[in-house]
Structure 1
Amino acid sequence: MSAVPSAPIPLAAGDVLPPRTVGPMTRNHFVRYAGAGGDFNPIHHDETLAQASGYPGVFGMGLLHAGILGVQLARWVGPDNIRSFAVRYTAQVWPGDELTFTGTVTDVVDGLASITLEVVRQTGEVAARATATAVALAP
């Protein structure tokens, strides 16, 4: 993997974040994130309670895959160059899911790149959509 940029990088409309696939996701991923992030809601690790709450089973916290997406963005454009990052969760992430993280620059205006990002399950279902802005150099 190349070094994380510290200065703005050249970005233009149509540039893409190198896609990354993570998974299969496991209950262990969810439990480890609970410990790191402090989200100990048992619907994410207790099968019986998750089912009693109306879910088919345990599922990942949205911030887990949003965090992975944010890391991918930061590795691409450099963490100091990100000016905004907003995520909308659109589907559950289940044990066994393989998640692909993608992004595309939609435009660059006055040195600021607008970027759309997605987290997609192996089924093709979008688990999260995000938007970001990052400082960019003209290509």
Structure 2
Amino acid sequence: MNALANPAVGDRVVHKSFPPISRHTLALYCGASGDHNPIHVDIDFARKAGFGDVFTHGMLVMGYLGQALTDAVHPSKVRSFSTRFAAITQLGAQLTCEGHVAELTEHQGERRARLTLTARDEAGEVKLAGEAVVAI
């Protein structure tokens, strides 16, 4: 939890890979989140909607990115965390989440780092982008 002991702009301070997203993962997430939209678990429904298969909940991907962040930076140090969805995350995607120091600042006497965050699939496509501000 000391990824930001002596940070410099450009440093990678967040890095975590996740196993491929399975149908089982999606079903478990439905139950845990209460998001039972059939586009995420029912292949027939997904095909009728014009997709080849079900796809991952965006908030599951956001959860992965948040977990990667708090694995690198203690949750008590996180001052803000925001994301935007960039692309649909397909079933089977293997996501890697990263965060780099974009800026070092001070706010009311507290040293902070602004991190740029991404969740990318195995082909390198950005699925989720965001940023966090953390105390250092």
The TM-score with structure 1 as length reference comes to 0.87
Amino acid aligned to 1:58: V
AA of the residue aligned to 1:132? A
Q: CA deviation at 1:11?
A: 3.1
Contact 2:119 2:127 (8 Å CA) reproduced: yes
Q: What residue number does 2:131 align with? A: 131
**CA–CA distance in 2 between the matches of 1:35 and 1:12?**
41
Instruction: Look up the SS of the partner of 1:50 in the other structure.
Output: helix
SS in structure 1 opposite 2:104?
Answer: strand
Cα-Cα RMSD: 1.5
List structure 1 runs of 4+ shifted beyond 4 angstroms. none
Secondary structure, in 3 states, of the residue corresponding to 2:13?
strand
1:22-73 per-residue CA deviation (whole Å, 9 max, x = no partner) reads 1211111111111111110010000000111111110000110110110111
* Contact persistence 1:9–1:77 (CA under 8 A): no
Distance in 2 (alpha carbons) for counterparts of 1:80 and 1:33: 25
Partner AA of 1:23 in structure 2:
P
Amino acid at match of 1:19: H
Corresponding position of 1:85: 81
2:91 aligns with: 95
| Partners of 2:14 and 2:100 within 8 A in 1 | no
Q: Percent identity?
A: 34
TM-score, length basis structure 2: 0.89
| Among 26, 31, 53, the residue aligned to 1:30 | 26
Q: Which runs of 5+ in 1 are unaligned?
A: none
Which is bigger in relative contact order (C-alpha 8 A, separation at least 6)? 1
